[in-house]
Amino acid sequence: MALILGAVESRFPLVRPEDPLLADHQRAAFNRHAGDGRMIDPGADEQLLEARFFDYVAFTRAHERLIVSRPLADGQGKELTVSQYVARLAVLCGNIAPRRIDSDELCALDHVATLDDTLTAVLLWARRQTRHGAPAEDDATCAALYQWLASNRDPHVQQAMAEVWPALAPQIAPHLAAAVSERLYARELRMSVSQLEKYGACPLQHFFCYTLGLQDRPRLELDVLNLGTLYHRILERVFDQVLAKKLPWPECVPAQLAAVLAQAVEDSAKELHAELAGTTPEYAKVCTRAARVLGVVLEAQRRAAQAGCLRPWATELTFGLKPDETKLADPPKVTLPTLLIATPGGRQVRLNGKIDRVDVEDGGQHAAVIDYKSAAHKTFELYELYHGLALQLPIYLLVLQQLRPKGRAEALAPMAAFFVPLAQKRSTPDDLSDLIEPGTDAFYQQSPPRGLIDAAHIGLLDAAIDDIAVRSSAWYKYKRNAPEKATKKNPNPVPGPLSKSGNDAVAADNFALVVRFAQHKAAALVDAMAQGQIAPQPYKDRQRTPCAWCEFAAVCPFDRIAGAYRQVGKSSRDEVLAAMREEVGHG
Which tens digits make up the pLDDT trace of 496-539? 999 988 899 999 999 999 999 999 999 999 999 999 999 999 99
Q: How many Cα atoms sit within 13 Å of 323 on the Cβ side? A: 0
Please tell me the predicted confidence (pLDDT) of residue 326.
45
Q: List the chain residues with pLDDT less than 50.
A: 222, 224-225, 324-326, 587
Closest by CA to 257, choosing from 291, 288, 281, is: 291
Closest by CA to 109, choosing from 97, 98, 118, is: 118
Note the pLDDT tens digit of each residue in 352-392. Answer: 999 999 999 988 899 999 999 988 788 999 999 999 999 99
Which residues, 6+ apart, have CB-to-CB distance to 231 below 8 Å?
290, 293, 294, 372, 374, 422
- Please state whether the peptide bond connecting residue 13 to the residue before it is cis, i.e. omega within 30 degrees of 0: yes
Rounded distance between C-alpha atoms, residue 474 and residue 299, angstroms: 15
Rounded distance between C-alpha atoms, residue 186 and residue 180, angstroms: 10
- Environment class of 422 (CB within 10 Å of its CB; exposed 0-12, middle 13-18, buried 19+): buried
Residues 263, 294 contacting (CB under 8 angstroms): no
DSSP 216: P
Please tell me the predicted confidence (pLDDT) of residue 225.
42
Closest by CA to 366, choosing from 450, 301, 309, is: 309
Residues 52, 13 contacting (CB under 8 angstroms): yes
Handedness of CA 82, 87, 88, 92 (dihedral sign): positive
The predicted model scores a pTM of 0.78
- Environment class of 449 (CB within 10 Å of its CB; exposed 0-12, middle 13-18, buried 19+): buried
Q: Are strands 413-421 and 450-454 parallel, antiparallel or unpaired?
A: antiparallel
Measured torsion, CA atoms of residues 118, 119, 122, 123, in degrees rounded to the nearest 10: -150
CA 165, chain centre distance (Å): 40
Please tell me the predicted confidence (pLDDT) of residue 362.
87
Which residues, 6+ apart, have CB-to-CB distance to 428 below 8 Å?
none
Q: What is the 3-state secondary structure (H, E, C) of 464-505?
A: CCCCCCCCECCCCCCEECCCECCCCCCCCCECCCECCCCCCE
| Number of helical H runs and strand E runs in the chain | 19, 13
Provide the 10 A C-beta neighbour count for residue 563. Answer: 16
- Which domains does the chain possess? 2-92 (3.40.50.300), 103-168 (no CATH), 221-306 (no CATH)
Q: Are strands 413-421 and 339-342 parallel, antiparallel or unpaired?
A: unpaired
Instruction: Dump the DSSP string for 195-214.
Output: HHHHHHH-HHHHIIIIIS--
Query: 3-state SS of the chain: helix, strand, coil percent to 5?
Result: 45, 15, 40
